[in-house]
Amino acid sequence: MKYTEGPEIRDAKAPEGPIEGRWEKRKFSARLVNPANKRKLHVIVVGTGLAGGSAAATLGELGYNVTSFCYQDSPRRAHSIAAQGGINAAKNYRGDGDSVYRLFYDTVKGGDFRARESNVYRLAEVSVNIIDQAVAQGVPFAREYGGLLDTRSFGGAQVSRTFYARGQTGQQLLLGAYQALERQIAAGTVTMHTRHEMLDLIVSDGRARGVIVRDMVTGEIERHFADAVVLATGGYGNVFFLSTNAKGCNTTAIWRAHERGAYFANPCYTQIHPTCIPVSGEYQSKLTLMSESLRNDGRVWVPLKKNDTRAPGDIPEEERDYYLERIYPAFGNLVPRDIASRAAKNVCDEGRGVGPGGLGVYLDFRDAINRLGRDAVEKKYGNLFEMYERITGENPYDVPMRIYPAVHYTMGGLWVDYDLQSTIPGLFVIGEANFSDHGANRLGASALMQGLADGYFVLPTTIGDYLADGPFGDVDEEAVAEAEIKVRTKIERLMSVNGTRTPDSFHRELGKLMWDYCGMERTEESLRKALERIPELREEFWQNVKVSGTAEELNQVLEKAGRVADFFDLAELMCLDALIRTESCGGHFRAESQDADGEALRDDENFAHVSAWERTPDGPVLHKEPLEYEYVKMTQRSYK
Ligand SMILES: Cc1cc2nc3c(=O)[nH]c(=O)nc-3n(C[C@H](O)[C@H](O)[C@H](O)COP(=O)(O)OP(=O)(O)OC[C@H]3O[C@@H](n4cnc5c(N)ncnc54)[C@H](O)[C@@H]3O)c2cc1C
């Protein structure tokens, strides 16, 4: 795939000066919109997960006219509901040395020096407000006996800063955001459209002014207009087919915005989570996460001997290798995800993996149960243990869990500036859909923090600065008609192929190819293979896909086909991005770039930048945004 290099880009909105004052400074310089004018301004928010739900509720509360969309039958079924382990905040309730600065430091380091310092500092700063907001809404965070909020540890941190509600933190936080949203729906400031899928962005006179959506029940194509559009449409890990994401997660909204001119940043940065239930068969359609919180008390190990087929209980202590504790004594089982995943892969590649196919390692609670008692372990992790038992038929109180890495989160997404605005004026992108805060590796419990920081606190301030110039008048009819025709043409094309293979079968093949060639380890050879094969498979898709039913009814095959079509184009960009980033950093591990210990080896001289891709008729154009580190010195990451 050919590409060219365009001019460098900069984040023009990032304030300067001491880092502690930058967000304050931006909040003060952002223009305000008076309450009477807010009522005349219209904002579309696509997505009702933690990012979109909190944003729509807050914008409604502020007095804007909001229209909100999601493809589920209820806003509270957004994928955020699946989040298990917790949400970080620099509250330092434990007095264990945490601070805003330490959370900032851990996150910049955890992201392997590929995130912006200003954004990360703001995230750490706002984190403390999120907990207050959620508690005020009644979110039932776990509490200690005395009534204080409890915390636990997540990877990449030596303090205990993760707030949680058993293994259902996302669910409880989403119910909080959903209640706030429902309140605004009842108050008439937010109009909700469930089961509507955004299929294109309307850009008029250079501004994002609306969306084209399909009513998923009737098939009707609708147009909706606004003064600004917010995409909070989640991540695209499902490009790999098998992932821990909800089955519906897809790239369509951000990809189609990319086709309209929004730059796509760091598409190759994918997070592989170390603790998931291993794949069990060819026809499996999804993978299940076992929360990272389990690594607080569970110990990861494999047999010392290769091809050891003994039951775990028959393997004596001295014949076990607690490899994370051995290799990384300072962080032990709580090393960041990228490091833990690669270590699991390495021991399995050595032939020491456990379970069918040798693709698994143990996560063992024996010592925790002996130390804390079964009841205490059950209290903390009961629902996760139950989930594991239901899926595998094994009781983790008695035998260690078997786990293996799986695709989990995408750090890449649409490029945004400090105001969370994309390269299309008026198009804001929040939550997992943007690229902004996690660099090349997201630390656990930081996605919920970012989604809610964006939705409750950052966007509602920064969007005002943009809307202060509105309302922006009528939307150009030609632009609307063009977008609508584009959507209809694509649907008609998908319906008319009438081939022999289901969209799902193409998706499965694409996903396998991505996992094999652009997964946990990437090489020049594997990426070139992928770049050769993806266009062939895409060609076959457009010649041979079979979409049953009609476009004028509820048609999940059609929905799937549209999403798979976009996954093909995204997959190609991911592989290209991975190919030209010849360094290893965070979740992007190029086998050619590793140090003597097999750890990721960055190349700061050539790659300390964000790769922001522009889509043009002549192929992708790469714009680099240089990354500068004033506060956290760029060093080789070490968790030893
Ligand atoms: C199993 C699991 C557990 C996790 N646990 C944690 C955790 O403990 N802590 C943590 O910090 N993170 C966790 N994460 C990550 C975290 O859950 C997600 O990153 C986060 O919830 C994403 O929120 P979001 O609001 O950006 O998107 P989502 O919650 O994915 O919401 C996307 C929304 O966009 C809508 N949408 C998408 N496309 C369209 C379209 N074209 N048209 C209309 N609507 C559209 C959807 O309907 C939905 O409402 C976990 C992830 C997984 C998979």
Q: Tell how far the Cα of 448 is from the centroid of ligand 1, in angstroms.
A: 9
Task: Name the pairing type of β-strands 190-193 and 196-204.
Answer: unpaired
**Ligand 1 pocket mutation, candidates 45, 68, 79, 427, criterion most atoms within 8 A of CB:** 79
Q: Residue 8: what pLDDT?
A: 98
Q: Taking the model in full, what pTM does it have?
A: 0.97
User: To test the ligand 1 pocket, which listed residue (44, 54, 69, 70) has its Cβ within 8 A of the most ligand atoms?
Assistant: 70
Q: What is the rounded CA–CA span in Å between residue 46 and residue 101?
A: 33
pLDDT at 637: 87
Q: Which domains, from first to last, does the chain contain?
A: 273-408 (3.90.700.10), 477-600 (1.20.58.100)
pLDDT at 526: 98
For residue 292, what pLDDT is reported? 86
Q: Are 385 and 364 in contact (CB under 8 A)?
A: no
Active site residues: 337
pLDDT in the model for residue 290? 93
Closest CA to 462 of 137, 30, 167: 30
Amino acid at 437: D
pLDDT of residue 173: 98
Please provide the DSSP assignment of 263-315 as one string: -EE-TT-EEEEEEEPPP--TT-----B--GGGGGT-EEEEESSTT--S-GGGS
Residue minimizing CA distance to atom 6 of ligand 1: 83
Residue ranges in the chain modelled with pLDDT below 70? none
Nearest Cα residue to 482 out of 490, 493, 470, 474:
490
| 235 CA: nearest ligand 1 atom | 30
* Residues within a 6 A CB radius of ligand 1: 46-52, 69-72, 78-80, 82-87, 169-170, 197-198, 232-235, 244-245, 249, 252-253, 289, 291, 408-409, 431-433, 445-448, 451
